[in-house]
Amino acid sequence: MVASGTRDRAAVAAKESSAPRRNAAYRSTVGIKVVMAVTGLLFLTFLVLHMAGNLKIFFGAESFDHYAHWLRDIGAPALPHEWFLWIQRGVLTLALVGHVWAAATLALRAKRARPIGYAHRPKVQGSYAARTMRWGGVIILLFLVWHLLDLTVGTVNPVGNPATPYANVVAGFAPSRWPVTLFYVLAVVAVGFHVRHGLFSALRTLGQRTANGERWARVAALGFAILLCVGFLVVPFAVLVGWVGPA
Amino acid sequence: MKLTLRIWRQSDREARGKMVTYKIDDISTDMSFLEVLDVLNEQLTATGEEPVAFDHDCREGICGACGMVINGVAHGPQKLTTACQLHMRHFKDGDTIDVEPWRARAFPVVKDLVVDRGAFDRIIQAGGYISAPTGSAPDAHATPVPKPDADAAFEAAACIGCGACVAACPNGSAMLFTAAKVAHLGALPQGQPERASRAAAMLHAHDEADFGGCTNTGECTAVCPKGIPLTVIGAMNHDVLGSAIRGR
């Protein structure tokens, strides 16, 4: 390895030349991962609240619509109409930019780190969830565009009336629109896989470092993944089988 | 047993390598994988061909010199085993076995299966030690260490620096190696004064060497011949974050 006669000098030279600048940790691969982890946890928080809100649909049209309109007045009277919503949208958009930037940076780094691949390369251990983070993320991003056009803006929704979110949901998941529902299901399952590896990975990035903690992190990641899948899929399922029908 | 070996041959750093097929007979199931390469090299030498270059030293699984990707898995199919301790009883008569060097930009191929792992030395030079005049060995009880800390430090210290973690990582990351050193010294009282700066400096050297970033897939720990757990990466992240927050 290092020639023995020059070892000390080489060590000193190496330490001086590659000495990290102050707070270089922010720009390191771990720093990039922290951006990924923190923005991911923000999305997870949003998703859990979003899912809980969706379940209001089982309390009837009036309850669901009332809840949806209340979202526009969170923080009132301190915050004017829809201000909270726009602040939240701004924060989530910034988080999305950070999350995708971190993913792209790490993916490019990974590509650069192995210029010549293996001729023979079976999958060893990495879970399906871990292996599909990048493409799963792309699927979720594409779905997000559709989802906003469908149930927020309403341009691709059969009803598309911001005043009647309940009617929008029932019309959106109508049996005749099964390809849309199928896309929704695929995207939610992709979110489940993404959260399954993402939450575990985020906790590790933020310093989870004991064997016991690792077991809990895996349980929590799987638990949130299942919770989100069930919570988000029960709504289109209920519309499809008629538990939730036109008001 | 009879085997077909497909081995990466590359005459020097600049040459374009390729997989070359060799047939080999009379392999005993008690031979180690490196002994199979020895037999092959005797054949090649006898016929005037260049023998296959590969790193090896102790052949007891403790030095970390040997290492090759066997059928796509670093150190081959047997868990917690280096290539020198991998015996042919784990293969079947008539098998075709692919043998490739570690693949990473930071580990350039020197010849055939030999790669330059100097990047690991640079990571260690950046902080994988304690700056203390050590003198002769102190009394074992001079600095009390709680048993769980000693166990955690020993588990991480078992790293032999073979590079299998890098070879297996889908991102070409050396985080398991780097983190094992950080976790080892960070768990002991002697490592505390430089704990935060060590983690930052070693991570910096890791990134400078063109290793990829960790995505916690766990391929590294699956192939690690010493079973270094993925939790050491959490210990390193913890110390790096501590370094960033405290600004040193």
As a three-state string, the secondary structure of B103-143 is CECCECEEECCEECCHHHHHHHHCCCCCCCCCCCCCCCCCC
Among A28, A108, A123, A208, the residue to mutate for chain B (most B Cβ within 10 A): A28
**Interaxial angle between packed helices B231-246 and A178-205, expressed in degrees from 0 to 180 and rounded to the nearest 10:** 70
Pair B100, B124 in one domain: no
Report, as ranges of residue numbers, the positions in chain A whose pLDDT lies below 50: 1-18
Are B158 and B183 members of one domain?
yes
Please count the residue pairs, one from chain A and one from chain B, whose beta carbons lie less than 8 angstroms apart: 178
- Residue B128 and residue B28 share a domain: no
Among B176, B207, B232, the residue to mutate for chain A (most A Cβ within 10 A):
B207
Same domain? For B104 and B145 the reply is no
B153 and B44 in a single domain? The answer is no
* Residue A139 structure tokens: 């699927």
Residues of chain B by 3-state class (helix, strand, coil), percent to 5 = 40, 15, 50
Residue labelled with tokens 């010493």? B226
Q: Does B77 touch chain A (CB under 8 A)?
A: no
Count the domains in chain B. 2
Give the pLDDT confidence score for residue B65 in this predicted structure.
97
* Full residue range of the structural domain in which residue B235 is found: 117-133+140-246
Predicted pLDDT at A55:
97
What's the CA gap between A229 and A188, in Å, rounded?
6
- The DSSP letter of residue B31 is S
Pairing of strands B18-24, B3-9: antiparallel
> Residue B237: which of B173, B190, B189, B193 has the closest Cα?
B173
Give yes or no: residues B104 and B7 share one domain.
yes
ipTM of the complex: 0.93
What CA–CA distances, in Å, run from A230 to A29, A54, A238?
34, 12, 12
List the end-to-end C-alpha distance of chain B, in Å, as a whole number: 58
- Domain CATH for B222: 1.10.1060.10
The answer for residues whose C-beta is within 8 angstroms of residue A126's C-beta and 6 or more apart is B170, B217, B218, B219
Quickly count helices (H) and strands (E) in chain B. 8, 7
Rounded CA separation A120/B15 (Å): 21
Same domain, B83 and B121: no
- pLDDT digits over B25-52, tens only? 999 999 999 999 999 999 999 999 999 9
Residues B181 and B106 in one domain: no
Size (chain B), residues: 248
* CATH code for the structural domain at A20-111+126-241: 1.20.1300.10
DSSP assigned state of B99: E
Which residue among B168, B212, B237 places its CB closest to the CB of A207?
Answer: B237
Indicate whether B79 and B10 sit together in one domain: yes
**The pLDDT of residue A247:** 74
B100 vs A30: CB contact, 8 Å cut-off? no
Angle (CA) B122 B69 B31, round 5°: 115
Q: Which residues of chain B have pLDDT under 70?
A: 248
